[in-house]
Amino acid sequence: MAVRHLAFCIAACGLMVAASEPARSQPGGTPAAPAPAGRTFTPEERTNIAVYEAVNRSVVNINTKATVATGLFLLEVPSEGAGSGIVLDTRGHVLTNYHVVEGAKEIQVLLSDGSSHLATVVGVDPATDVAVLKIDAPAGVLHPVVFGTSSDLRVGQHVFAIGNPFGLERTLTTGIISSLNRSLPTRSGRTIKSIIQTDAAINPGNSGGPLVDSGGRLIGMNTAIASRTGQSSGVGFAIPVGTLARIVPQLIERGRVVRADAGVTRVFESDSGLLVAAVAPEGPAERAGLRGFRVVRERRRQGPFAVETARVDRSGADLVVAVGGESIKTADDFLSAVESRNPGDTILITVVREGRQLDIPVVLGSEQ
C-alpha cells in the first residue's frame, strides 16, 4: 500500500453490519479471558487477551495485484500485505478502505484459518474511503465482527486496533482515544467528519482493520495516520462506526451510496455564509423557492443593429447561514449537513434575503 507523507498517511481499519457470535462477557461487558493453569494475568492483560481472542478471527489480510507500466509492457505486480479488512457477515462480505483496493486488478483475501479467496468488489464510496468486497467462503470460516456504537465515545477511553501492518497478520496494538470529531480529507476532495483520533500504533497495512472497544465491539475502521515518515507517530485516525453503518448497507444493496441532495449547484463562500449562485432547474431548492444569481438581459439599439447584453444580478441571491439549525460557513459544512439526511427528508435551510432571515423547508432529492 502506498503511503502518503507530510499531512496524512492512509493506513487503517474496518466496521460491521451484523453480529452473529456475541463475545462471552463478564459483568460490565468485558469479554472473559481465562488464564491458563499456573499463569496469572493482570486485569489489563486479561482485557487485552479477551479482546484479541474475540476479534482477531474477524480480521482478514488483503493482498492485491495492480498493473504497472514498465517501458512498453504492462505488468501485474503483487502488493503483499496491502491492507486489512473486516468480516461483516457469513455471506462473505468484507469491509475495507477504498484506497486499499483502488486500481487493483486482482484481490485476494486471506482468512484467519489460512485459506485464501479471490474477492470481487461489491461497492465503493471514495468520498468516505470505504469499500465492500465479497468472497465465496464457507460460513463456518467466517467470523463477523460485533457492531458497537460511536455515539457515546469518550476521550481517554481504551481502544484496540487489529490489522496487518507490513503484512504481519492480525497484529494487536492498544491505546486510547486521544480526540474526537476530527475532520479528514480524502483523495476525492471531500472531508469525512466525526473522525476518531487514537494513539494506538497504526502503520501501513493496518488500513481497513477494526478499531474496537474493551468489549470487543467495533467502533471504527482505521484509515489514516499523521506522519512525516510514513510510520506511526502516535496519531491515527478511524472512520466511526456510525458513518460505516449508514454506508455499508447501501454498498451491499446498490453498489454505491445514494446521498441526499438539496439542488444547490453552485455557491460562493463568504464570512457571513454561503451565497447561492445557482440552483438545479426543477430541483429541490428551486421548488422550495431558494434564489440564486439572476441573469438580466438587456437590448439596445446601436445604429441599425439591436445589441443584446447580459449581466449577472447578485442582489437577490439568498445567503445560506444555517441548515437544520446548525451554523454553516463552508460548502463542506453545507454538504455534510444535507448528506447526513436521507432523500425525501425535509430540512430547514436558513437564509438571509434582502436583509431578512427566513427558514425555508426543502424536501431533499437524491444525488444523481
What does the alpha-carbon distance between residue 23 and residue 31 come to, in Å, rounded to a whole number? 6
What's the mean pLDDT in 8-16? 38
Same domain, 133 and 181: yes
Same domain, 111 and 80: yes
Same domain, 241 and 310: no
Residue 157, domain CATH: 2.40.10.120
Same domain, 17 and 94: yes
Residue 349, domain CATH: 2.30.42.10
Residue by residue, DSSP assigns 189-204 as S-EEEEEEEE-S---T
Tell me how many domains the chain contains.
2
Average pLDDT, the chain: 82
Beta bridge partners of 301: 306
What does the alpha-carbon distance between residue 58 and residue 77 come to, in Å, rounded to a whole number? 27
Same domain, 32 and 125: yes
What's the mean pLDDT in 277-286? 92
Task: Read off the pLDDT band of 14 (50, 70, 90).
Answer: very low
Same domain, 245 and 266: no
Is 211's pLDDT higher than 90?
yes
Task: Read off the pLDDT band of 342 (50, 70, 90).
Answer: confident
Of 257, 280, 313, the one marking the end of a domain is: 257
Task: Read off the pLDDT band of 18 (50, 70, 90).
Answer: very low
Task: Read off the pLDDT band of 187 (50, 70, 90).
Answer: confident
CA 305 to chain CA mean position, Å: 59
Beta bridge partners of 59: 86
Of 223, 242, 257, the one marking the end of a domain is: 257
pLDDT number for residue 70: 57
How many CB atoms neighbour CB 151 within 10 A?
A: 10
Is 96's pLDDT higher than 80?
yes
Of 257, 277, 309, the one marking the end of a domain is: 257
How many CB atoms neighbour CB 325 within 10 A?
A: 10
Comparison of pLDDT for 292 and 30, the residue scoring more: 292
Cell numbers linked to 79 = 502488493
Is 5's pLDDT higher than 60?
no
pLDDT number for residue 33: 57
Same domain, 153 and 280: no
Same domain, 100 and 236: yes
pTM over 0.85: no
Same domain, 324 and 253: no
Each residue's pLDDT tens digit, 109-128: 999 999 999 999 999 999 88
What does the alpha-carbon distance between residue 133 and residue 112 come to, in Å, rounded to a whole number? 17
Catalytic positions are 99, 129, 207
Same domain, 204 and 346: no
Is 236's pLDDT higher than 60?
yes
Same domain, 115 and 191: yes
Cell 468489549, located at residue: 215
Same domain, 249 and 290: no
Q: Which residue range is the domain that position 229 belongs to?
A: 1-257
